[in-house]
Chain A
Amino acid sequence: MQLHTSIDRSQTDAIGSTPAAVNAEALMSGYQLGDPVAATALIHQLSPLLRRYFLSEPSSRAHAEDLLQETWLRIHRVRHTYRPGEPVLPWLYAIARHVRIDHYRRATRTTAREKKLTDVTRIDESASVEQAPWDELESLLAPLPASQREVLQMLKVSGMSLEEVARATSSTVGSVKQRVHRAYKKLRESIRAPGQGERPNGVVR
């Protein structure tokens, strides 16, 4: 098992201390100083990462574009909380995570009062994103609790380091390592369990 992602880092743009990350830090400082060119460049550079983050979670996938815009509005309001010289990604993902949780809470309250139109939703989702890899991920991570799923997605899909995930989730590096270890253990157990065709919650692999 590899704790760090095996994904080519150039694929994930601004990660860790890569030139792209350094560039994002400089752009963020420019954004704080009110430079519109820096703000535009930052939005173009970081939006794909944010979109992938929202796509990776089933609860936020259908609203990825809306959440992306909401996250940028939130970032704009709290841009003074970024500390120049600190890594941008954990700060960015911490805010995105906050927006996603708010969205989830709001959606839970709203959907409880709404009549379900399942077919319409399904058409919307299939039209908006290429579903196959996300469905595969969803069925793979189905047996995991939300906290373990989240750290695996950040590490393996978003390509963040343990330190960055710990900062983004407001936890310690040790706690992140423990969650990843438990997640992998649970995934192995669920895969090797008898009756492999079906998972306990009914999701078919």
Chain B
Amino acid sequence: MTDTKIDQVFERVARAPHQVERAVLDRISTTLCSSLRPVRPLPANGLLIMGVLFVCGAIAFGGAARSGFFGFHALGIAARVIVLSTLGILAWVAARECVGYWIPGSRHNVTPWGFVALSCAALLSVFALLFHDYGTEHFFSAGVICLSAGVTHAIPAACIVAWLLRRGLLTEVVSGGAIAGALGGLTGVMMLELHCAKLEAPHILLWHVAVVPVSAAAGALVGWGASRFNFFARR
């Protein structure tokens, strides 16, 4: 059998009768039209993205304000601009993808795990370029504190983003959870860059960057759990 013959099988199936009985169509029409009212469409994508970014920024800055902007003061002006603009661009891409997952039939430019890999690579490159202190003082103890602080800020960020987009329909629950988690993770990294004054390269490269994949994995896990218990099927 050649490709042409394979295509012929598809063609035969496509031509197979698939009409729906008129009675069924009428029943569906009657049911839907009985409760038909004008609906308020979702806000424009740009507005949703701005809302999502505002929430993430507010959580990152709020967290840093509560704990102190020690990291921000320890960084030079160029480092501040490079780090914050990199995080801003990544957060914008994540917010766009996140909004797309809540609106069925949206266009996607990157898969959630592709985005996690991309953001880790971008952050690792930027941090490796900016930080050259290779000391490892209190590597584990300080690292675990930073990782948990980052994830602690990622959780409310992802939850509020999901709440903000609640009028949408999440058709890919695991992927949607992963991308919301990654966005929350970027919020956590931003808070850490504003707060953490420990500028040792190994610390930042491992413990700060790890917030993104850990949060994305947690988001995917929550999504998997929700889909397993048919949480979103009630919509």
Contacts and interface: CB of A to CB of B under 8 A. Distances in A.
A binds B: yes
B10 interface: yes
B199 to A, nearest CB: 37
B28 interface: yes
B105 A86 contact: yes
A37 to B, nearest CB: 9
Prevailing SS type, chain B contact patch? loop
Given A36-B33, A72-B28, A167 B107 contact: yes
Contacts of B28: 43, 47, 68-69, 72
The interface residues of chain A, by DSSP majority, are classed as helix
Contacts of B141: none
Contact of A6 (B11, B16, B37): B11
A76 B16 contact: no
Interface of B: 1, 3, 6-7, 9-20, 24-25, 27-29, 31-33, 35-42, 45, 100-101, 103-111, 167-169, 171-172, 175, 227-228, 230, 233, 235
Interface of A: 1-2, 5-7, 11-12, 31-34, 36, 39-40, 43-44, 47-49, 51-52, 55-56, 65, 68-69, 72-74, 76-84, 86-87, 89-95, 97-98, 102, 105-106, 130, 133-134, 136-137, 140, 152, 156-159, 163, 166-168, 170-172, 175, 184, 187-188, 191
29 contacts: A7-B10, A44-B25, A47-B24, A48-B19, A55-B18, A76-B35, A77-B235, A80-B40, A83-B45, A84-B41, A92-B105, A93-B105, A94-B171, A105-B233, A106-B233, A136-B12, A137-B10, A137-B13, A140-B9, A156-B10, A157-B13, A166-B107, A167-B107, A168-B105, A170-B106, A170-B172, A171-B111, A175-B111, A191-B1
